């Protein structure tokens, strides 16, 4: 092989750099060496994670704050299966992610020879949790598959893509240099004029219109605010849509559709406009929202128009473009905005007054966080009771500021996603909210955080010495609690061993002081707050 001839692996890395990839998360292995040959001089930063699941979650967090696809490199077999949980989470929450893995030599595929890291059919493992999973049987397949992946990210419902590359394809010299074959055809388009007119007619006729927006509307905040104001429509978001309206916007009902007072308000709407949200039960913690009025849906995924919430008008297209087209067509309509604002204000009061003892404790902690959180910070949260309360009770200042594993509901998400988000938005301080149970799923990623980060990342560990939600569920169902009261390690010593700064506040005042100091510290701070200290 001539020195100037690229291998398939080298050319693939160059191609990714030409698509604008600046960071990849992964762990090098004997089956990805040819990818790593391509990294030096590519301009792509490699972040060494401590587990492939961590690589996947970091790619997810990177994508959520940056809007760009997160990319990871993993090995054949165990690398893919380790990353599968993170791929499933990204699939559930419509997060763009590109997973590049090796696979065994082409001649051995499906043969059952017992090769290292062999699976019967690696593509079949990830096919159900990706937009597509494909095997590049020749180097010439790679530019086409990467272009197809970016077509998903740019033009369809964004979801993970997995491309497997056999070892011989990675290692062999390419016949022509395709590393500059970048194809980007962004655009999700607009619904037809006829459908837009139907939607406008229903919005004009509505007496009590309301809006629900989700993660598919993150680029449409300004248009949503205009539309909400024009229609005097109370504005709800899913957890993925938190921060789309300013906190103090008088029609901003927030992510309150997961509590009873939010359900009551949405039931009063005669027309509901749902934008970029799949309206899943994991968004609202209820099998079905009590929507009694007509439903208009803006979505890029046509399968959403005939699911558990069939709609009166289906507007398939880009959220921002579609909303701007609706605004252009919408005539001035006199509206009783005072009534709508009053309804939203009443909702917020009812939520604040309706907290049970545990939620009140969470609210007290969240209030201290809000007091110290820098204006441009993001919060990455795990599956923990503190975050469940925060999903509806913590107001986010901007989109892409509250990262939560909604649909798949994965324990261990919070820490690695927060680390990945720091690479997607290095200038933004980060806060991780994680419980003691979820922390131990991916705690080893503290090594990556300490090694790589030189700006503030604060890990708030809510330690109730229990798998608290499951314990409470067992008690409520009269099941004797089993396996929910684990013996925890000394978390302070654990974090110090990785090189973290550690605080253990004894009350909420100390917590607030520790948070304030931590956000001025370049590097990783672990704050362990014990349940007893917060009471």
Q: Which domains does the chain have, with CATH numbers?
A: 8-171 (3.40.50.970), 193-350 (3.40.50.1220), 355-534 (3.40.50.970)
How many other CB atoms sit within 10 Å of the CB of residue 512? 17
**Strands (DSSP E) found in 82-150:** 97-103, 132-135
Below-70 pLDDT ranges, the chain: 1-3
- The H-or-E segment that residue 136 falls in is none
Distance between first and last Cα of the chain? 68
- d(CA 335, CA 332) in angstroms, rounded, equals 9
pLDDT of res. 500: 98
pLDDT of res. 469: 86
191 Cβ contact partners less than 8 Å away, ≥ 6 residues apart: 199, 298, 314, 315, 316, 317, 322, 325
- d(CA 311, CA 274) in angstroms, rounded, equals 10
Nearest to 509 by CA among 370, 368, 386, 394: 368
pLDDT of res. 109: 82
pLDDT of res. 535: 74
- d(CA 74, CA 29) in angstroms, rounded, equals 8
347 Cβ contact partners less than 8 Å away, ≥ 6 residues apart: 234, 253, 256, 261, 262, 265
Tokens of 308: 């558990």
Tokens of 198: 């139907």
Specify the DSSP class assigned to residue 443. Answer: G
- The H-or-E segment that residue 497 falls in is helix 491-498
Are the beta carbons of 315 and 199 closer than 8 angstroms?
A: yes
Are the beta carbons of 518 and 374 closer than 8 angstroms?
A: no
- d(CA 272, CA 267) in angstroms, rounded, equals 10
**The CA-based dihedral angle spanning residues 285, 472, 440, 398, taken in that order and rounded to the nearest 10 degrees:** 30
How many other CB atoms sit within 10 Å of the CB of residue 357? 8
pLDDT of res. 1: 43
pLDDT of res. 2: 46
């Amino acid at each position: 092989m001539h020195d100037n001839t690229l291998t398939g692996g080298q050319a693939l890395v160059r191609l990714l750099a030409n698509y604008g990839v600046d960071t990849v998360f992964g762990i090098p292995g004997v089956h990805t060496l040819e990818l790593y040959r391509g990294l030096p001089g590519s301009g792509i930063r490699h972040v060494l994670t401590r587990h492939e699941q961590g690589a996947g979650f970091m790619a997810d967090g990177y994508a959520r704050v940056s809007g760009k696809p997160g990319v990871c490199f993993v090995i054949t077999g165990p690398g893919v299966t380790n990353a599968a949980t993170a791929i499933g989470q990204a699939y559930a929450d419509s997060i763009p992610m590109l997973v590049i893995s090796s696979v065994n030599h082409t001649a051995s595929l499906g043969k059952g020879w017992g090769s290292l890291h062999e699976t019967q059919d690696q593509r079949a493992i990830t096919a159900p949790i990706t937009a597509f999973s494909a095997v590049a049987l020749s180097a010439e397949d790679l530019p086409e598959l990467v272009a197809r992946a970016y077509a998903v990210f740019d033009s369809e419902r964004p979801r993970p893509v997995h491309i497997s590359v056999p070892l011989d394809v990675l290692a062999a010299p390419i016949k022509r240099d395709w590393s500059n074959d970048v194809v980007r055809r962004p655009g999700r388009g607009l619904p037809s004029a006829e459908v837009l007119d139907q939607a406008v007619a229903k919005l004009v006729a509505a007496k009590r219109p309301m809006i629900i927006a989700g993660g598919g509307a993150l680029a449409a905040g300004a248009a949503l605010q205009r539309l909400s104001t024009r229609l005097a429509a109370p504005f709800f978001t899913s957890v993925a849509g938190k921060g789309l309206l300013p906190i103090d916007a008088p029609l901003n009902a927030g992510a309150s559709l997961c509590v009873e007072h939010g359900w009551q308000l949405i039931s009063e709407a005669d027309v509901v406009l749902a934008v970029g949200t799949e309206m899943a039960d994991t968004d609202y913690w209820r099998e079905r929202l009590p929507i009694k009025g007509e439903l208009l849906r803006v979505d890029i995924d046509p399968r959403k128009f005939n699911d558990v919430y069939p709609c009166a008008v289906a507007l398939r297209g880009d959220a921002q473009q579609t909303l701007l087209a609706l605004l252009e067509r919408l005539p001035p309509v006199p509206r009783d905005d005072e009534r709508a604002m009053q309804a939203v204000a009443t909702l917020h009061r009812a939520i604040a007054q309706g907290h049970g003892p545990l939620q009140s404790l969470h609210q007290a902690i969240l209030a201290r966080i809000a007091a110290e959180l820098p204006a441009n910070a993001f919060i990455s949260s795990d599956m923990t009771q503190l975050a469940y309360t925060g999903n509806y009770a913590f107001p986010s200042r901007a989109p892409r500021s509250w990262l939560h594993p909604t649909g798949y509901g994965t324990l261990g998400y919070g820490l690695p996603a927060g680390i990945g988000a720091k690479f997607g938005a290095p200038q933004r301080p980060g806060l991780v909210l994680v419980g003691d149970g979820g922390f131990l799923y991916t705690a080893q990623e503290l090594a990556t955080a300490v090694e790589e980060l030189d700006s503030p990342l604060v890990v708030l560990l809510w330690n109730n010495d229990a798998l608290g939600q499951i314990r409470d569920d067992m008690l409520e169902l009269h099941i004797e609690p089993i396996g929910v009261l684990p013996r925890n390690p000394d978390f302070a010593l654990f974090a110090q061993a990785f090189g973290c700064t550690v605080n253990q506040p004894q009350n909420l005042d100390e917590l607030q002081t520790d948070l304030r100091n931590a956000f001025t510290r370049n590097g990783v701070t672990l704050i362990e707050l014990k349940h007893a200290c917060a009471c």
